[in-house]
Amino acid sequence: MGKRELKTAFLLALRSLQRGSRSSAILTVLIIAMCFTNMIFLPSLLNGIGQSITKQIVDYEVSDVLVDPKTGNQYVGDLDTTLDLINGMPGVERATPHFSKGATLMYHKRVLGTTIRAIKPNDEKLVSPLYTKMTAGSYLGNDDVGEIILAKPVAGDATIKEEDEFQPSLGGVRVGDSITIEYGNGYTRDYRVKGIYYTGWWEADAAAYVTWTDMEKVEGKTLDYADFITVKAKPGYSPKFVKNELLQYGVADRVQTSTDVLDKNMGKILKSYAILNMVSLFVSIVITTVVLFIVITIKTINSRKQIGVLKAIGVDREVIMHAYGFQVILLSLMGIALGVILTLLLNVYMEYNPVVTVDWSASLYITTMDLVMNSVILFAVSIVAGYVPAYQVSREDIQSGMRA
């Protein structure tokens, strides 16, 4: 088929869309746009959940590299020397220790068991975004003693009755209030609430933070040991590079990158999300193919009389087939463009209104490649769904078409 015939087919397709039912064309474009949105929404949400969980674990638990006690030890020992060694290595932005202790929090008549985490606030700022998550009050200072920051779920809401709470809380603690904390070793003291934070990550939001200096008073001695150390890599340096540097410089404790930790602890969950992604995409493609095939078949069959007239005046069968195929291509391009716009608007909306659970919060995770791949798939499906009925109808004889 030559260029002239293809040009004729394209002009016929354009004229048919211009003179045809506008409501039918708009509806077809809208259906294609909804098919595109359906194809990308659930996989993107599942990707978003996986990415969100991964980011929150890295941000609030392990950072880029995690230094754990070596096998047989409870703590990372000789802390000051270890921190000096790590912080002096190439590629390390900052290393910060963590120490946790079980405690009972008391406020008015409320009693709540939770974990108190000791941190070095200034170092923690360079490793974790916790300091940016304050919803009230302010973050800790390095020398703060007798002050604490609480997670929003731990502080609670005074307007919610205790029996109606989703999870136990202190019933509405506010910044400036005083709470009593009794540690597992029997040490008890009153703390002023300096700030309230909310990260969206369940483990961080089920705890409270005090300074390293404060925890030393609780322990009654200098804390030259930690549960673990988190290490932030400098921009341009990979976690694997930092890990290798730590091992090369003789850090005796167990060293893992965030990927090592996630593969070990979250690998099965993330693989499950990947399987759900594939199944969801496959089902969406099948549904999209069936829906488009039905819609376009009905549209083409309703045009049989027009096809019969074109044949009667001598228009070639292939020109007619391509004319209806081009109609589908034009409609699919408009539908895909509208689908991309709707998807991006939905993405912006969910950035400000994420899916929130007790354990995590997540929005859509959409890449340029996702948009391109889904557009190509939908375009290919539209062509198949358009050309098959057009080919079938174009093969009918003139009398059958005229009687339609």
Residues 6+ apart with CB under 8 A from 201: 56, 57, 59, 60, 61, 360
What integer pLDDT is reported at residue 103 of this predicted model?
95
**Partners of 255 in the β-ladder:** 67
Which structural domain, as residue segments, surrounds residue 294?
Answer: 3-57+268-403
Question: Do 89 and 190 fall into the same domain?
Answer: yes
CB 114 within 8 A of CB 156: no
Q: Does residue 261 lie in a domain region?
A: no
Q: Would you give the end-to-end CA distance of the chain in angstroms?
A: 28
Question: Do 244 and 383 fall into the same domain?
Answer: no
377, with CB counted inside 10 A (0-12, 13-18, 19+), is middle
168, with CB counted inside 10 A (0-12, 13-18, 19+), is middle
Residues 6+ apart with CB under 8 A from 207: 100, 114, 115, 116, 117, 151, 154
List, as own/partner pairs, every contact residues 258-264 make where C-beta atoms lie below 8 angstroms and the sequence separation is at least 24, other chains included.
258/57, 258/58, 258/62, 258/63, 258/64, 258/65, 258/66, 261/57, 261/62, 261/66, 262/54, 262/57
Question: Do 284 and 361 fall into the same domain?
Answer: yes
Distances (CA, A) of 121 to 95, 128, 182, 201, 342: 12, 10, 22, 19, 43
Q: Which residue's structure tokens are 């791949």?
A: 373
Q: Does residue 27 lie in a domain region?
A: yes
Distances (CA, A) of 99 to 10, 139, 257: 71, 18, 20
Question: Do 196 and 303 fall into the same domain?
Answer: no
Q: Does residue 67 lie in a domain region?
A: no
Please say which residue of 252, 278, 310 terminates a domain.
252
Q: Does residue 258 lie in a domain region?
A: no
What integer pLDDT is reported at residue 179 of this predicted model?
95
Question: Do 226 and 363 fall into the same domain?
Answer: no
Q: Which residue's structure tokens are 């790590």?
A: 86
Q: 296-314 in b/e burial notation, b at 16+ Cβ within 10 A? A: bbebbeebbebbbebbeee
CB 43 within 8 A of CB 230: no
What integer pLDDT is reported at residue 35 of this predicted model?
84
Phi, psi (deg, nearest 5) at residue 359:
-90, -30
Question: Do 290 and 382 fall into the same domain?
Answer: yes
Distance CA 103, CA 230 (A): 23
Query: Got the DSSP string for 104-152?
Result: EEEETTEEEEEEEEEE-HHHHHTT-GGGGGEEEE-PPPTT--SEEEEEH
Nearest to 131 by CA among 190, 211, 51, 66: 211
Strands (E), 120-259: 134-137, 147-151, 178-183, 188-197, 207-211, 228-233, 254-257
Question: Do 213 and 277 fall into the same domain?
Answer: no
Question: Do 103 and 14 fall into the same domain?
Answer: no
Q: Does residue 63 lie in a domain region?
A: no
Question: Do 208 and 127 fall into the same domain?
Answer: yes
Question: Do 290 and 397 fall into the same domain?
Answer: yes
How many CA atoms, within 13 angstroms, populate the side-chain half-sphere of residue 61?
A: 20
CB atoms < 10 A from the CB of 45, how many?
Answer: 20
How many domains in the chain? 2
Q: Does residue 68 lie in a domain region?
A: no
pLDDT by position in tens, the chain (length 404): 556 666 766 676 677 666 666 777 788 888 888 888 888 888 888 888 888 888 888 999 999 999 999 888 889 988 999 999 999 898 999 999 999 999 999 998 899 999 999 999 999 999 999 999 999 999 999 989 999 999 999 999 888 888 888 888 999 999 999 999 999 888 999 999 999 999 988 888 989 999 999 999 999 999 999 999 999 999 999 999 999 988 888 787 889 999 888 887 666 777 777 787 788 778 877 877 787 777 777 766 666 666 666 656 656 666 667 677 777 788 888 889 999 999 999 999 988 888 877 666 778 888 899 899 889 988 888 788 777 776 666 665 545 544 55
H-run or E-run covering 65: strand 65-68
For residue 197, the 8-state DSSP code is E
Tokens of 351: 């950035």
Q: Does residue 181 lie in a domain region?
A: yes
What integer pLDDT is reported at residue 12 of this predicted model?
65
Question: Do 151 and 241 fall into the same domain?
Answer: yes
What integer pLDDT is reported at residue 216 of this predicted model?
94
What integer pLDDT is reported at residue 53 of this predicted model?
83
Please say which residue of 252, 286, 305 terminates a domain.
252
Coil/strand/helix, residue 68:
strand
What integer pLDDT is reported at residue 355 of this predicted model?
80
Please say which residue of 217, 252, 287 terminates a domain.
252
CB 337 within 8 A of CB 29: no
Distances (CA, A) of 391 to 11, 99, 304: 18, 72, 12
What integer pLDDT is reported at residue 309 of this predicted model?
62
CB 293 within 8 A of CB 389: yes
Question: Do 244 and 295 fall into the same domain?
Answer: no
CB 128 within 8 A of CB 197: no
